[in-house]
Amino acid sequence: MDLSIASILMLDGVTNGAIYALLALATVLVFAVTRVIFIPQGEFVAFGALTLGMLQLGQTPGTIWFLLLMAVLVAVLDLVAGLRQGRPLTRVLGGVLKAAAFPVLIALFALWAAPQKFPLLVQAGLTLALVTPMGPLLYRLAYQPLADATVLVLLIVSVGVHFALTGLGLAFFGAEGFRTPAFWDASFAAGPLMLSGQTLIIFAASIALIISLWLFFERSLYGKALRATAVNRLGARLMGISSTTAGRLTFTMAAFMGALSGLLIAPTTTIFYDSGFLIGLKGFVAAVFAGLASYPGAALGAILVGLLESFSSFYASSYKEVIVFTFILLVLLWRSLRDPHSEEE
Amino acid sequence: MFNTRKIFPLAALALLAVLPQLPVPEFWITQLNYIGLYAMVSLGLVLLTGIGGLTSFGQAAFVGVGAYTTAVLSTRFGISPWLALGVGIVLTVAVALVLAWLTLRMSGHYLPLATIAWGLSLNYLMGNMEFLGKYDGIQGIPPLEVFGISLNAGRSIYYLIWAFAVLAAIGVSNLLDSRPGRAIRALNGGVTMAEAMGVSTFRYKVVIFVLAAILAAVSGWLYAHFQRSVNPSPFGIKLGIEYLFMAVIGGVGGVWGAFTGAAVVKIVEDQLQTLLPKLMGASGNFEIIVFGVALVLVLQYAPKGLWPAIARWFPAGPRLRDWGGAPPLESRSKPRPGELLLEVDKVRKEFGGLVAVNDVSFQIRAGEIVGLIGPNGAGKSTTFNLITGVLGLTSGQVQFRGEAVGGLASRLIARRGMSRTFQHVKMIADMTVLENVALGGYLRSHAGAARAMLRLDRAEEKRLFAEAERQLQRIGMAGQMHELAGNLALGPQRLMEIARALCTDPALLLLDEPAAGLRHKEKQALAEVLRQLKREGMSILLVEHDMDFVMGLTDRLVVMEFGTKLIEGTPADVQASPEVRAAYLGTEH
């Protein structure tokens, strides 16, 4: 290996690492606020990439119907729950409409827009608008009824959700893979490196998102409310921060970050309905690196995972995944030596 | 004797035995073979998830280790499958030990994450290694032979599969009803109580993970010789999750849930695999949608799974009282009255910048009842946790019977004869009062998991139950020994905790707010029990809020405020002290 190959591999690794970083941050965020180990994070990646892929072909992606279905289910559940609690019908209906309005409107708009073959950027925006509302709906359907369950039960729920979403992905998008065009077709030479426009967009998007996350947590009231919930759920609730709202907000952010990662990664590799799982798990390895607790640690871990992956695909391409997933064991060893005491739940 | 509890298992066993001899279609024999194989794996998950509060998504990978080991050894090297079973188990145990060692000292969620990674890695290895036949796998695995009979048909290997499955179920049932079983059941929902009873919770977490892995490996070995070929796909993460699904849907709280779940999932899966692709108009694993949704719904609406609904038809009777005349457990040498028992020397605990306990010192002599009192937040419970080893000391020392115990783990302190109760009752709600108290006898007994599974521990079990009953009599609760602990009111639960602590044969009993939440009559009864214990020579350290309760009972009081010792003396001294009055009631200005 000479320096030019090494630098190409480095660039490749850091590029993928930037995407894994988004997923790792989302994983840490979801765990900190809701104690959910969110295995299905990767499914949002696949949903994002494949929805855009189908829009590109002028087809109507199944995610639209899925969004509508989830919105209707949530509306029915909220209606039933509201009436059972004996709240006035108008208020219950008002709440239901407020929650369902955006998903239904965006789904209806997407139904009209799908065959129109709008420009790529519009379709990307539409994709984000379609996948992001799935986050809070999913939280309402799967996790909210079990919000006080143990981490173990929430984890098992997560694998159930992962199963269901993967199967639905197959139903919506079929077994064929999609690869979307790059957002920016330029390329730049920097010494031995060829920087593609897509690579630059990945870096720019990841950095922008990390900065806006930082601003959100440091400067906004909602961000501080989420941090409070992460530190102490009961205490936050006593301060008037609803843990349900915190959960829905967190899942909204997670879905958005997942879908965005999907849009960023789709031009660089072919995405299938089940690709999200492995991509999400790599974000996971990075999150575990940070003990599911530290955001900068997760980002650093993600870059490491990306580098490890690109170098191992050069040396032993068929064992790439083995190497990446065995790395988690070394990470766990390091963590258990560094912080050996077990904590009580 | 003719109750449904005895007849049902025997009838089921007889039906299992004659089934292959009846004109049952081959399809159903194959189904039953799969159900037996799956049930063995989900049995391990019941032990791990439902009983122990851990979980694994990598069980399918352990099945793969068992299957591939025998596939390689029997086809490439012509080694006997029975020897290959041994090799497979050794490999499995080695992997399980590494994973356990890496993850089980940290929070519970690192094990499942590690098992996902391990399951994926192994699956890619199987699919990429020339040696393991890549994605085509290994064909031509010889059939098993038992006493010269070749088990080359579904109907013949059926017997071996179900013999292993039934033996595994019996073994796990035996384990759960034993000394190590009670320790395992104490893992779920926190380790503090189990550690205080002297249980090494880390060790039992490792034990159940290794056991679950072995069950999976045996299932894989049978699978390889049943299918006569192996390839990577049945050992992937999808099956790993499905095994967990079986355990959860069947009922993760008991042995038979594993069998219920395996049967339901296998039969429904077959139906869905033909039905759904037709419905969707495309081929694919659409059944995972149904499974995923079903898993979430089961956890939301019926977290105990299907089995409890079936088990209602076979109500369990009370435990047969067969321990009359069992010899007593060995007991430790007791300190002489007046001997220095506990010496707390300037113990200090800081949480960040907060000094919760500030250089507190006091002593307890054998035969005394000492009360530790103070307003809310004075650091009493923290002091208690420092003495019992639940929290580490920032500085200072604790001497117990002349030995420095500061900084030791709480189970090692328990081993030296210090036993405690908890401010918030910690018990195993779905075990009887008797079994909960018997957990206290953990350190006075020795049976391990293997002896328990083989039922070689019965003599010792009788001694344990006899001791537990004796302690319950001592506190006047023998009448409630067959109740489930979770059904008791708070007062009896606190008394049960005292009986459990007594069952450890302590030299010093530490009671953390034993009277909190008790009614007046219950408090009087408790005070009487404690006086009786004192008459019998027991030494007690008591954290308490209720002044009337403490004043009439204790020999000496240590009063704390803001983490510092305020005063020490007889109840009369303390009552007369202006500082104590100021601490409790404030001062006049």
Of B243, B258, B234, B256, the closest CA to residue B295 belongs to B243
Q: Give the whole-angstrom CA distance, residue A275 versus residue B419.
A: 54
Using the 8-state DSSP alphabet, how is residue B47 labeled? I
Q: Do A332 and B106 touch (CB under 8 A)?
A: yes
- For residue B72, is pLDDT > 80? yes
Q: Does A328 touch chain B if contact means CB atoms closer than 8 Å? A: yes
Q: Give the whole-angstrom CA distance, residue B90 versus residue B102.
A: 18
Quote the mean pLDDT of chain B: 89
Q: Do B295 and A168 touch (CB under 8 A)?
A: no
- For residue B141, is pLDDT > 60? yes
> Across the strands, what pairs with A196?
A187
- A289 torsion bin: left (phi>0), alpha (psi -120 to 50), beta (else): alpha
Q: Do B120 and A325 touch (CB under 8 A)?
A: yes
Least CB–CB distance from A329: residue in B102, B245, B248: B102
Minimum distance, in Å, between the CA of residue B64 and any CA atom of chain A: 16
Q: Does A164 touch chain B if contact means CB atoms closer than 8 Å? A: yes
- Cβ-Cβ contacts under 8 Å between A and B: the total is 156
Share of chain B above pLDDT 70, in %: 98
Least CB–CB distance from A151: residue in B102, B108, B191: B108
Q: Give the whole-angstrom CA distance, residue B374 versus residue B582.
A: 11
Least CB–CB distance from A156: residue in B98, B113, B244: B244
Q: Does A150 touch chain B if contact means CB atoms closer than 8 Å? A: yes
CA dihedral B448, B454, B459, B461 (to 10 degrees): 60
Residue B210 domain flag = yes
Torsional sign, CA A270, A271, A277, A279 = positive
Query: Domain end: B209, B235, B261, which one?
Result: B235
E-state strands within B253-339 = none
The predicted-structure confidence for B169-186, as pLDDT tens digits, reads as follows 999 999 999 999 999 999
Is there a contact between A65 and A185 (Cβ–Cβ < 8 Å)? no
Is there a contact between B329 and B445 (Cβ–Cβ < 8 Å)? yes
Token match 């870059």: residue?
Answer: A303
Q: Give the whole-angstrom CA distance, residue B155 versus residue B23.
A: 11
Using the 8-state DSSP alphabet, how is residue B131 labeled? G
Share of chain A above pLDDT 90, in %: 37
Q: Which of B102, B123, B193 to mutate to test the interface with A (most CBs of A within 10 A)?
A: B102
Q: Which of A144, A322, A339 to mutate to test the interface with B (most CBs of B within 10 A)?
A: A322
Residues 35-64 of A with CB under 8 A from B: 37, 39
ipTM confidence score? 0.90
The predicted-structure confidence for B77-136, as pLDDT tens digits, reads as follows 989 999 999 999 999 999 999 989 888 877 777 888 888 888 888 998 888 888 888 888
Q: Which residue of B has its CA nearest to A333?
A: B102
Q: Do B286 and A171 touch (CB under 8 A)?
A: yes
Q: Do B107 and A342 touch (CB under 8 A)?
A: yes
Q: Does A161 touch chain B if contact means CB atoms closer than 8 Å? A: yes
Structural domains of chain B, count: 2
Least CB–CB distance from A164: residue in B108, B248, B293: B293
Q: Do A342 and B291 touch (CB under 8 A)?
A: no
Contacts of B244 in chain A (CB under 8 A): 156, 159
Residue B331 domain flag = no
Average pLDDT of the segment spanning A231-260: 90
Average pLDDT of the segment spanning B565-573: 89
> Across the strands, what pairs with B373?
B559
Q: Which amino acid is at B170?
A: I
Is there a contact between B418 and B335 (Cβ–Cβ < 8 Å)? no
Confidence of residue A86 (pLDDT cuts 50, 70, 90): confident
Q: DSSP 3-state helix, strand, coil percentages of chain A (rounded to 5)?
A: 75, 5, 20
Residue B377 domain flag = yes
Confidence of residue B1 (pLDDT cuts 50, 70, 90): very low
Token match 């849907």: residue?
Answer: B249
Q: Does A152 touch chain B if contact means CB atoms closer than 8 Å? A: yes
Of B382, B384, B387, the closest CA to residue B406 belongs to B387
Let me know how long chain A is.
345
Q: Give the whole-angstrom CA distance, residue A211 versus residue A205.
A: 10
Q: What is the pLDDT of residue B206?
A: 94
Q: Give the whole-angstrom CA distance, residue B497 versus residue B507.
A: 16
Confidence of residue B349 (pLDDT cuts 50, 70, 90): very high
Contacts of B49 in chain A (CB under 8 A): 152, 156
The predicted-structure confidence for A20-54, as pLDDT tens digits, reads as follows 999 999 998 999 888 899 999 999 999 999 999 99
Contacts of A292 in chain B (CB under 8 A): 109
Does residue B350 share a domain with residue B228? no
Residue B447 domain flag = no
Quote the mean pLDDT of chain A: 88
The predicted-structure confidence for B390-417, as pLDDT tens digits, reads as follows 888 999 999 999 899 988 889 999 999 9
Does residue B344 share a domain with residue B215? no
> Across the strands, what pairs with B541?
B370, B510
Phi, psi of B371 (to 5 degrees): -105, 140
Query: Domain end: B235, B264, B286, which one?
Result: B235
Q: Give the whole-angstrom CA distance, residue B240 versus residue B263.
A: 16
Q: What is the pLDDT of residue B243?
A: 93
Residue B371 domain flag = yes
Q: What is the pLDDT of residue B588?
A: 63
Tell me which residue range forms the domain holding B67. 27-235
Least CB–CB distance from B292: residue in A163, A278, A281: A163
Q: Which of B248, B288, B297 to mutate to test the interface with A (most CBs of A within 10 A)?
A: B288
**Which of A29-43, B53-67, B269-283, B469-483 is predicted least confidently?**
B269-283
Minimum distance, in Å, between the CA of residue A28 and any CA atom of chain B: 13
Residue B401 domain flag = yes
| pLDDT: which is higher, A242 or B501 | B501
Q: Do B292 and A342 touch (CB under 8 A)?
A: no
E strand or H helix at B358, and its extent?
strand B354-365
Torsional sign, CA B97, B412, B453, B5 = negative
Q: What is the pLDDT of residue A55?
A: 92
| pLDDT: which is higher, A327 or B440 | B440
Confidence of residue B426 (pLDDT cuts 50, 70, 90): very high
Residues 262-321 of A with CB under 8 A from B: 278, 281, 284-285, 288, 292, 318-319, 321
Q: Do B121 and A326 touch (CB under 8 A)?
A: yes
Q: Do B121 and A332 touch (CB under 8 A)?
A: no
Beta-carbon contacts of B120 under 8 Å, excluding residues fewer than 6 positions away, are: A278, A281, A321, A325, B237
Two structure tokens written together for A227? 């941090």
Residue B80 domain flag = yes
The predicted-structure confidence for A103-123, as pLDDT tens digits, reads as follows 999 999 998 988 888 888 899
Least CB–CB distance from B282: residue in A142, A174, A322: A174
Residue B273 domain flag = no
Q: Which of B124, B248, B279 to mutate to test the interface with A (most CBs of A within 10 A)?
A: B124
Contacts of B248 in chain A (CB under 8 A): 156
Q: Do A328 and B114 touch (CB under 8 A)?
A: yes
The predicted-structure confidence for B433-467, as pLDDT tens digits, reads as follows 999 999 999 999 999 999 999 999 999 999 999 99
Average pLDDT of the segment spanning B322-344: 86
Contacts of A175 in chain B (CB under 8 A): 282, 284
- For residue A341, is pLDDT > 60? no
Residue B354: other Cβ atoms inside 10 A: 8
The predicted-structure confidence for A265-284, as pLDDT tens digits, reads as follows 998 889 999 899 989 988 98
Using the 8-state DSSP alphabet, how is residue B556 labeled? E
Confidence of residue A343 (pLDDT cuts 50, 70, 90): very low
DSSP 3-state of B546: coil
Phi, psi of B504 (to 5 degrees): -80, 0
- For residue A196, is pLDDT > 80? yes
Two structure tokens written together for A180? 């979307």
Contacts of A152 in chain B (CB under 8 A): 49, 53-55, 108-109, 112
Does residue B64 share a domain with residue B184? yes
Three-class secondary structure assignment of B329-397? CCCCCCCCCCCEEEEEEEEEEEECCEEEEEEEEEEEECCCEEEEECCCCCCHHHHHHHHHCCCCCCEEE
**Which of A260-264, B23-27, B37-41 is predicted least confidently?**
B23-27
- For residue A133, is pLDDT > 50? yes
Q: Give the whole-angstrom CA distance, residue A332 versus residue B112.
A: 12
Q: Does A338 touch chain B if contact means CB atoms closer than 8 Å? A: no
Minimum distance, in Å, between the CA of residue B351 and any CA atom of chain A: 15
CA dihedral B8, B14, B20, B25 (to 10 degrees): -30
**Which of A227-236, A299-308, B77-86 is predicted least confidently?**
A227-236
Phi, psi of B429 (to 5 degrees): -65, -30
Q: Which of A156, A324, A330 to mutate to test the interface with B (most CBs of B within 10 A)?
A: A156
Q: Do A163 and B295 touch (CB under 8 A)?
A: yes
- For residue A342, is pLDDT > 50? no
Q: Do B299 and A156 touch (CB under 8 A)?
A: yes
Phi, psi of B419 (to 5 degrees): -130, 150
> For chain A, what are the domain ranges?
3-337
Minimum distance, in Å, between the CA of residue B107 and any CA atom of chain A: 5
Contacts of B240 in chain A (CB under 8 A): none
Least CB–CB distance from B102: residue in A333, A341, A345: A333
Average pLDDT of the segment spanning A304-329: 87
Q: What is the pLDDT of residue B589?
A: 61
Q: Do B125 and A319 touch (CB under 8 A)?
A: yes
Query: Domain end: B188, B215, B235, which one?
Result: B235
Q: What is the pLDDT of residue B4?
A: 62
Minimum distance, in Å, between the CA of residue A313 and any CA atom of chain B: 14
Least CB–CB distance from A160: residue in B112, B284, B296: B296
| pLDDT: which is higher, B2 or B222 | B222
Q: What is the pLDDT of residue B319?
A: 81
- For residue A339, is pLDDT > 70? no
The predicted-structure confidence for B363-381, as pLDDT tens digits, reads as follows 999 999 999 988 888 888 8
> Across the strands, what pairs with B561?
B564
